[in-house]
Amino acid sequence: MTRPRKLYVKSFGCQMNVYDSHRMADMLAPEGFAETAHIEDADLVILNTCHIREKAADKVYSELGRMRALKAAAARDGRRLTVAVAGCVAQAEGEEIIRRAPVVDLVVGPQNYHRLPGLLARAEREGAVVDTEFPVEDKFDILRAPSRAATRARGVGAFVTVQEGCDKFCTFCVVPYTRGAEVSRPVIKIVAEVERLADAGVREVTLIGQNVNAYHGEGPDGAAWTLGRLLERVAELPGIARLRYTTSHPCDMEASLVAAHRDLPSLMPYLHLPVQSGSDRILARMNRRHTRADYLKAIARMRAAQPKMAFSSDFIVGFPGESEEDFRATLSLLDEVGYAGAFSFKYSPRPGTPAADMPDQVPEAVKSERLYRLQAAIDRHQAAFNARCLGRSFEVLFEKTGRHAGQIVGRSPYLQPVQVMAPAIMIGDIAAVTITDLGANSLFGALAETRIDADAMLMEA
Ligand code: 5AD
Ligand code: SF4
């Protein structure tokens, strides 16, 4: 028998890449590849890359520099190391990657990784292979299910792709080009995948998609289902205690999704709803298709349906043409919403996107200064939100052992890490925890004696 070959997958960027990385490992397991945690031992390294900002894309090339040394070391040991680049940089740059980094044996786009076994065999036979064509077949029909052991090893929370791609074409964004047009998976396929995960012990499922609330997959009745309806169906599945979904667009906050937050106790009251800017002038130039008022209305509808709701967002500073006044509108929106957390980025011109060619690019120093001010404001909001949690009780889903002996760590409904002194046997359980202390990156709590009183979770500002 041949020895199992070792696979090391490194994921960059978004949660969909994490999901895709798992599916690549699942696809290769029956081919005799076992995952290793040590890159030096690997026979195959897959870099699953992100193209969203220049910095993310640059990481790939610095990583490929390291791969050259690893490949030489493997050769000295009489081993062959195969290097594959997958993900959105693969899709965007294709053959250019092999020209710039001849260490790469295989370039495979996000819509083609179900073909990995065949592509690897070809790369081993013929040398460098590139596959970034958008295929006619659906990769989800060909991808292999994870083993129960693989699912267990990945923990109590899992991602499930329900929708992929984007038709919105925000002028700064590469996603419509790298992930392609929007496609929704049929309801029965998603239900089957979640059932399998639940059967292997998964307790929390996050439905993911670049534009997840534009979901319109075929239901068992033949009609197009909304995300709200899909959530309602998935919430019925035994074993799944918590549901989340990401990432949403403010234009697609349809009524059934708002109702799902009112009606489904397992749907966590936390919504990541990127706004990007608080200025209508900039939102229009970004082609966001919503105004500041539309966005605030979406937040208000959610809060009216579910008073426990808290929000996070993404912001871009220094988009072409952004004035100090536009930027202040972003700061004031932040205060108006009162976010529990947010991600903020300096605008990064991406080749091939309309904003990259806009004339009034903002100088780097101005971007840096605005990012600094925005991050300070976000930190302030996050600290205030965390401070409001002090003394309250939440249900925490325990995920793994904690920082110190005797501690385990889990997530609150708002995704805050909570460290608790409790036995490791409780990992995978959901228990009521009273927040006793605030740390820099996590909350501290104690197991609560009584069940949670629903009102104790009310988080309005
Ligand atoms: N420059 C900076 N940030 C970007 N994002 C997307 N494209 C760019 C870009 N060109 C940010 C947006 C998006 C998040 C995933 O990344 O805020 O919501
Ligand atoms: Fe990119 Fe806009 Fe689509 Fe989000 S909605 S993936 S930011 S184009």
Pocket residue to mutate for ligand 2, from 167, 169, 290, most atoms within 8 A of Cβ: 169
Closest approach atom of ligand 1 to CA 350: 10
Ligand number nearest CA of 315 is 1
Rounded to the nearest 10°, the torsion over CA 59, 62, 68, 73 is: -90
Ligand number nearest CA of 286 is 2
Query: Is the CA virtual torsion 17, 133, 95, 44 positive or negative?
Result: positive
Rg (CA), the chain: 23
| Ligand 2 centre distance from Cα of residue 176 (Å) | 7
pLDDT of residue 455: 45
pLDDT of residue 127: 87
Closest CA to 17 of 40, 48, 59, 57: 48
Residues with CB under 6 A from ligand 2: 166, 168-170, 173, 175-176, 210-211, 249
3-state secondary structure of 199: helix
User: Whose C-alpha lies nearest to ligand 1, atom 9?
Assistant: 348
pLDDT of residue 6: 97
**Containing H/E element for 397?**
strand 393-401
Give the rounded distance of the alpha carbon of 152 from its chain centre: 20
| Ligand 2 centre distance from Cα of residue 215 (Å) | 14
Amino acid at the residue 213: N
Pocket residue to mutate for ligand 1, from 12, 50, 52, 374, most atoms within 8 A of Cβ: 52
C-alpha 356/C-alpha 237 separation (Å) is 45
pLDDT of residue 451: 54
| Ligand 1 centre distance from Cα of residue 378 (Å) | 17
Ligand number nearest CA of 287 is 2
Closest approach atom of ligand 2 to CA 173: 1
Closest approach atom of ligand 2 to CA 169: 8
C-alpha 397/C-alpha 385 separation (Å) is 20
pLDDT of residue 440: 85
**Contact predicate 135/184, CB 8 Å:** no
Which residues of the chain are modeled with pLDDT < 50? 1, 453-456, 460-461
Domains of the chain by start residue, with CATH? 5-131 (3.40.50.12160), 139-385 (3.80.30.20), 393-459 (2.40.50.140)
pLDDT of residue 277: 98
**Contact predicate 427/203, CB 8 Å:** no
pLDDT of residue 2: 63
| Neighbour count for residue 427 (Cβ, 10 Å) | 17
pLDDT of 164-211, one tens digit each? 999 999 999 999 999 999 999 999 999 999 999 999 999 999 999 999
451 contact partners, CB below 8 Å, separation of at least 6: 432
Phi/psi of residue 399, nearest 5 degrees = -110, -35
| Neighbour count for residue 106 (Cβ, 10 Å) | 25
